[in-house]
Amino acid sequence: MISYLLKRFAYYLSIFLGIIFFSFILFHVIPSDPARTILGPNAEQAQVDQLRQKLGLDKPMSVQLGRYLKNILSFDFGHSYIDDRNVFHEVENRFKITLSLIAISMTIVFVYLFLVILSFISPLLQRCTDLLDFLMSSLPVFFSAVIIAIAVLYFSPVTSFSGNITSLNDLLYLIPPAFVLGLYPMAILAGILKKEMSSVLKSPYITAGKSWGFSDITILFRYALRNTLIPILSALSNILPMLLTGAFIVEIIFSIPGIGSILIKSIMNQDFPMLECTVIVNGAFFVLVNLAFEYLYPLVDARLVKERKQ
């Protein structure tokens, strides 16, 4: 078991190193002259040379790569080209907001999944969720976000966001965008849950449970649910990158100062350290989440451990 976990760790570490290498090539090898980009086309050649020396761009590539790796290990991603702020702090702060948006939307998703499980008892709820699933899987995040944003502007009492989540007002402001963000995962996860649940409910141990006289609720939540969790978890880890992409767009539409706004600003200003840090922080986040899921599977389903031993 431990060797398996170590192998997975090494695998994800290699992916993370790949992301770092990718961003090094993209941001340090391809651009011909970053110093010139920072100072603009009108700067004196002497100034450009001075900055190049300061940034270490005159050293050979191997030295630069070594220094780059060292900087990443000490969380030093340099300073923004535009306002000279520490890039890592900025990305960290913005990432927190994006993550809390995602957390709220995942809460909404799980509430909906709870309803979907209940729909196995009530036929009316089943029909409603079937229709909702199809509609939600076809809603591009642009459309639902614009519709909800218009509704919020016209009808909601909370239309301002302070920038960090400190008060109830900010939390209330995040709920409509989180709902928009949750629509697609809701549809995908509900589809998988329904498929898995209906196949699990046909298995003999459920019939046995029924003949013991357990109530429907007990059978669904205590016995059937756990066997459907593995596919849900793996689908969830596949959906997360998509969720973050959606979060960028939703953030811009609802003007929430998260990673999405960093993206748009740094594209407009050609602010490479900011982009680079965003890429690496996101990569680290996904590698960690996937690793956590890998370690979660054996906890949810002990049979997996046995399978791997064989």
Partner 1 sequence: MKQEKGILLLIFFLLLLWIIGFTCARYTPSDPLQIHLKERLNPPAQEHICGTDELGRDIFSRVMVGFSNTIKVSIMTLFSSFFIGVIAGSLAGIFYNRFIDRLFNWMAAMLFSLPFLLIITALMSMMEKNLFNAYLVMTAIIWVAPARIIRAGVIKAKSADFVVAERAIGKSEWSILVRSLIPMSIRPAFIYSFKYFPEIIGMEAGLSFLGLGIQPPHPGLGKMIFDGINYLYSAWWYALAPSLLLFVVVLSSNLFYSQIAVKDEPAY
- Can you say how many angstroms the Cα of residue 258 is from the centroid of all Cα atoms in its chain? 12
Does position 245 interact with partner 1 (CB under 8 A)? The reply is yes
By the rule CB under 8 A, 290 interacts with partner 1: yes
Helix, strand, coil percentages (3-state) for the chain, rounded to 5, are: 80, 0, 20
How far is it, in rounded angstroms, from Cα 19 to Cα 17? Answer: 5
Question: Per DSSP, what are the bridge partners of residue 79?
Answer: 86
Nearer to partner 1, 93 or 261 (CB): 261
Residue owning tokens 């706004």: 261
**Amino acid at site 55:** L
Closest separation in Å from C-beta 211 to partner 1 = 32
Binding to partner 1 in span 165-224, by CB under 8 A: none
Q: Are 15 and 287 contacting, i.e. CB atoms less than 8 angstroms apart?
A: yes
Of positions 15, 118, 165, 233, contacts partner 1 by CB under 8 A: 15
234 is a contact residue toward partner 1 (CB under 8 A): no
* Choices 42-50, 109-117, 195-203, 274-282; region in contact with partner 1 by CB under 8 A: 274-282
Q: Which distant-in-sequence residues (6+ apart) come within 8 Å of 223 by Cβ?
A: 205, 206, 209, 214
User: Cβ closer to partner 1: 214 or 285?
Assistant: 285
CA quadruple 83, 87, 92, 97: dihedral sign: positive
33 in contact with partner 1 (CB under 8 A): no
Q: Name the DSSP class of 167.
A: S
Of 99, 106, 139, 296, the residue at the interface with partner 1 (CB under 8 A) is: 139
Among 75, 114, 142, 295, binds partner 1 (CB under 8 A): 142
State which of residues 102, 149, 178, 186 lies at the interface with partner 1 (CB under 8 A). Answer: 149
CB of 260 to partner 1, least distance (A): 9
Exposed/middle/buried for residue 9 (C-beta within 10 Å: 0-12, 13-18, 19+): middle
C-alpha span between 117 and 213 (Å, rounded): 20
The least distance separating partner 1 from the CB of residue 146, rounded to whole angstroms, comes to: 4
- Which is closer to partner 1, CB of 10 or CB of 302? 10
Q: Which stretch binds partner 1 (CB under 8 A): 55-63, 113-121, 220-228, 278-286?
A: 278-286
**Closest distance between partner 1 and the C-beta of residue 279, in Å?**
5
Burial of 103 (0-12, 13-18, 19+ CB in 10 A): exposed
> What's the CA gap between 278 and 160, in Å, rounded?
26
Q: Which of 101, 104, 109, 287 binds partner 1 (CB under 8 A)?
A: 287
Footprint on this chain of partner 1 (rule: CB under 8 A):
14-15, 18-19, 22-23, 26-27, 30-31, 134, 137-143, 145-147, 149-150, 153-154, 238, 241-242, 244-245, 248-249, 252-253, 255, 263-264, 266-268, 270, 272, 275-276, 278-279, 282-283, 286-287, 290
